Chain A
Amino acid sequence: MSGARERILARVRHGASRRAVPPNPPASSPTVAASFADFADALAAVGGTAHGPLPLSTLPGLVEGALPVAARSGRRVVEATAAAWLPTGGWEVLDSNVDPCSLADVRVAAVRGTLGVAENGAVAVLGRDAPNRAVLFLAEHLVLLLEAGSLATDLEAAFRSLPPDALHAHHLTWISGPSKTADIEQVLVMGAHGPRTLQVIGVETEG
């Protein structure tokens, strides 16, 4: 196989003309603070629901009300870094490396998000906050907890605002709304394989 590597690279080297220079980085646009309301609108447009911002102290009592009716019973799990934000009863805190197939019956999963994007309703979920990546897609209903001020206007600004170790823990997943498909006559259907609903709860951590 190393023969294949050398031959491919030799042909590519021959074809690569080395003329083009890297494109200029864009003129840094003035930093516009993204509002939670803009993010909520974008999330609604992709089929998700934003709640809040809610003060951290009231959160445990309010999470229940944010869940869709279908999510009010069944197995509920929470990844470790989001556990502190949820009521102590009723949520099973996951270890960092559970057999993913054992999560197939999860009704609701709650995970901490790092950054929301106002242009597309996407939330960045880092590997350290979702070590059991499969649960993001196996859960029937997904709840992302996001500091309400952790927002970027667009995806480029969002990538620049990520913490430097964002790629260190296997995955970084941008989640924009619930799982969806339009493969049958272009009719949009939620819950193709993964979560049927997505709730993003904005949390006020200060004051």
Chain B
Amino acid sequence: MTLPLDQRARLGLPDAEAVARHDAAVFDLRRRRDEAVAGLPEFEALRARATAIKRHVLDHLDRLLETFESQARAAGVVVHWAEDAAGLNGVVEGLLRERGVRCVVKSKSMLTEECGLNAHLEARGVEVVDTDLGERIVQLRREPPSHIVVPAVHRRREEIGRLFHRHLGSPAGESDPARLTEHARRSLRPRFLAAQAGITGVNFGVAETGTLVICTNEGNADLGTSLPPLHVACMGIEKLVPGLDDLAVLLRLLARSATGQPITAYTTLLTGPRSGGELHLVLVDNGRSALLGSPRHREALACIRCGACLNTCPVYRRAGGHAYGTSVPGPIGAVLAPALVGDASARALPFASSLCGSCSAVCPVGIDLHGQLLAWRRESPALPRRLRWTALAAGALMARPRLYRLAGRLARWTWPLLSRRWPGNPAAAWLRDRELPPHPGASFRARWTRRGSAP
């Protein structure tokens, strides 16, 4: 998080070709989402219900948590509570140490990314194998995921082929996705069979029944929880739904919003441990209860992590997930990070937005994402320096009509100079990946006057 945002963007997407490919790949997910929505006449009604369900959950979260905890306990789940990242990491480390676990298979969990669980366990000698294919790719590359649904969307098949050749022994030059997936399958199957514990995230917790719901397409979370004797599930406290009816509504929206699928291949409801096995659940706060106490920002806690706002965001699509420097990137990341991370870099994220509102338009649980981005900007203790000067200058210009007109004329003369690349050009950052549009030749005011005098 130390590099400025535009420089971080270079890390994941180093050149214009990578940017264009990333843009097309994630926008294709957005297109699939649109097709799925068009095929479901009741989509908007479902979305309104999902919004009401999540609002109700947040307003009654304390009671729902207590119900959920007692129902899960009654079903045989051991429930732990963690106030922060260190709390979660400590609980998991303790559970593994007590059982002498050295080898863990893990399925996708943005919460454990947020808390740095992998690094914590690896530093204590536990082998942690990420089993979602995309997560395995970024784990082998020793980089964070760049998307919450498709973690390796920023990597090309040839890069993944070279990676698998080096780590998994696939043939040199292999880049066919089906054959690379088969290599990953064959290398991971023995890990599943040998693992002493499985760690998963949780998509939803059902309060009335104490049930954990886990959604995957690969079935990796299912292998990871049905083979080893110990399952440790890590869940943010906001992930509850009251009952199965509510769950059904959110499940109908989740996969459609994420990838355009009508439902994920596997939707697993676990109520208690399997016979002879152990199921431990860690309920993690890590800043969520404080965010709940902020009426202006709490709605971000309704997020179900579908990724639709990433796929549609013009900034995310061109900058890539690594630019954000947070576990959850994109518009939702930019409104969660100021609350959950809170450092200067996180507070700067809401400024990296065009406020076009496309994120709000696709959010299946009705989060007013661009309104949230704006709200965080208003509360920013200090504007980024460059932005502050620009805002001051713009304010001064707009308050003085004559000066404004003069500046317009000046801009017309200097336009050819600004649109060319030369050292010291104040528009250099803009020009790095784009052209300035051609100047219209006359000011809006001049054209308006002409139009007014026409018959």
Contact = CB atoms under 8 A, between A and B. Distances in A.
Interface string A1-17: 11011011101111111
B162 interface: no
B199 interface: no
Interface string B77-100: 000111100010001000000000
B220 interface: yes
Contacts of A156: 245, 248-249, 252
B81 A180 contact: no
Contact of A174 (B55, B157, B266, B291): B266
A171 B59 contact: no
B180 to A, nearest CB: 6
A32 interface: no
B276 interface: yes
**Size bin of chain A's contact surface:** 35 or more
Nearest to B131: A193
B285 A183 contact: no
Interface of A: 1-2, 4-5, 7-9, 11-23, 25-26, 42, 45-46, 97, 100-101, 104, 117, 119-122, 131, 133-134, 136-138, 154-156, 158-160, 167-168, 170-187, 189, 191-195
B379 to A, nearest CB: 18
Contacts of B66: 9
B414 interface: no
25 contacts: A11-B289, A12-B292, A16-B59, A16-B63, A16-B292, A20-B56, A20-B59, A20-B60, A26-B45, A101-B227, A122-B263, A131-B275, A133-B222, A134-B226, A156-B252, A172-B268, A173-B222, A176-B265, A176-B267, A179-B266, A180-B218, A184-B152, A185-B25, A185-B156, A189-B181
Interface string B150-191: 111100110010000000000000000110111011001100
Given A5-B81, A176-B264, A179-B217, A133 B59 contact: no
Contacts of A186: 25, 28-29, 150, 153
Contacts of A160: 245
B219 A193 contact: yes
A114 B56 CA distance: 32
A42 to B, nearest CB: 7
Contacts of B58: 16, 20
Contact of A23 (B25, B49, B185, B209): B49
A159 B56 contact: no
Contacts of B382: none
Contact of B62 (A12, A20, A25, A155): A12
Nearest to B226: A134
A177 B177 contact: no
Interface residues of B, number: 93
A176 B268 CA distance: 11
Given A9-B65, A170-B271, A194 B218 contact: yes
B217 A25 contact: no
Contact of B251 (A136, A137, A155): A155
Looking at chain A's contact residues, the main secondary structure is loop
B197 to A, nearest CB: 14
Interface in B211-267: 211, 217-220, 222-223, 226-227, 237, 242, 244-245, 247-249, 251-252, 259, 261-267
Contacts of B188: 193
B177 A179 contact: no
A120 B180 CA distance: 28
A192 B25 contact: no
Interface in B18-33: 25, 28-29
A104 B181 contact: no
B59 A192 contact: no
A70 to B, nearest CB: 14
Contact of B81 (A4, A104, A192): A4
B269 interface: yes
A179 to B, nearest CB: 4
Interface in B336-354: none
Contact of B244 (A18, A100, A119, A159): A159
Nearest to A101: B193
A72 B351 CA distance: 59
